[in-house]
Amino acid sequence: MEIVPNFIFPTAVWSTLFDDRSTFNAALLERIYDLRVQNPKGVANTNIKGWQSPNNIQSLPQFEDLCLRLVQVCQRIGESQYFEPDLGFNLQAWININPPGASNKIHYHANCHFSGIYYVSVKAPECGNIFFRDPRVASRMLTYPATRPTDFTTEEVRMKPEAGRMYVFPGWLEHGVEENESDDDRVSIAFNILAGRKSSA
Ligand SMILES: [Fe+2]
């Protein structure tokens, strides 16, 4: 007798790696630190000890090429999920510079179809994984008496940062970032995408 699981309501964290990441990130990193010089205080949000830019870098010309890529990746993911054609993909993006000791509290992003992160500078693996919490809230009521976690029994999933890597996930998926235990900044771009009909002005 064969017993097979049918996975229903799966949660995807899509991932891609930019081919030209080293040259692309070098130029991007300069622009990021320039922006911090212009606005050293940044904004306080989910980041602990880190610097976060305002969430408007999609309107800054020096980040146009980056933002275009973020949108293109999400458009392809939308296509894979049979999104209607010719939708606008409205992007909101911001920068996180997390120095040693910095982290991001667990949170989610309301009112967007996709959220994601793109890593610009990751110098050491211990600079802080992104972690995702099981979105099946009721499943947290009881832990499984298992000797090791599986995709089904786990409560949290960690993913490694890597320069040039982009993760995309549903905005409702709770996530946070572990403390940066390296000696260098971890620099990343976080973003939200809301897909919808373009307004016919
Ligand atoms: Fe986030």
Q: How would you write 29-48 as a 3-class SS string?
A: HHHHHHHHHHCCCCCCCCEE
Higher pLDDT, 159 or 201: 159
Q: 169 CA to middle of ligand 1, Å?
A: 10
5 within a domain of the structure (yes/no): no
Q: 47 CA to middle of ligand 1, Å?
A: 9
Write down the pLDDT at residue 201: 47
Q: 8 CA to middle of ligand 1, Å?
A: 25
Q: Pairing mode, if any, of strands 156-159 and 103-107? A: unpaired
For the chain, the first-to-last Cα distance in angstroms comes to 61
Q: 119 CA to middle of ligand 1, Å?
A: 13
**What is the domain count for the chain?**
1
Coil vs helix vs strand at 195: strand
Do 159 and 167 contact (CB within 8 A), yes or no? Answer: yes
Q: Find the CATH number of the domain harbouring 67.
A: 2.60.120.620
Q: Which domain holds residue 181?
A: 14-144+152-197
Question: What would the two tokens of residue 160 be?
Answer: 């490694």
2 within a domain of the structure (yes/no): no
Q: 141 CA to middle of ligand 1, Å?
A: 24
Q: 99 CA to middle of ligand 1, Å?
A: 17
Q: Please write the tens of the pLDDT for every residue from 11-68.
A: 999 999 999 999 999 999 999 999 999 999 998 877 788 899 999 999 999 999 999 9
114 within a domain of the structure (yes/no): yes
Q: 200 CA to middle of ligand 1, Å?
A: 31
Q: 84 CA to middle of ligand 1, Å?
A: 26
Average pLDDT over residues 176-199: 93
Strand order in the sheet with 51-52: 14-17, 165-170, 114-121, 186-197, 87-98, 51-52
Q: Please write the tens of the pLDDT for every residue from 97-141.
A: 999 999 989 999 998 999 999 999 999 989 999 999 999 989 888
User: What is the Rg, in whole angstroms, of the alpha carbon atoms belonging to the chain?
Assistant: 18
139 within a domain of the structure (yes/no): yes
Q: 174 CA to middle of ligand 1, Å?
A: 8
8 within a domain of the structure (yes/no): no
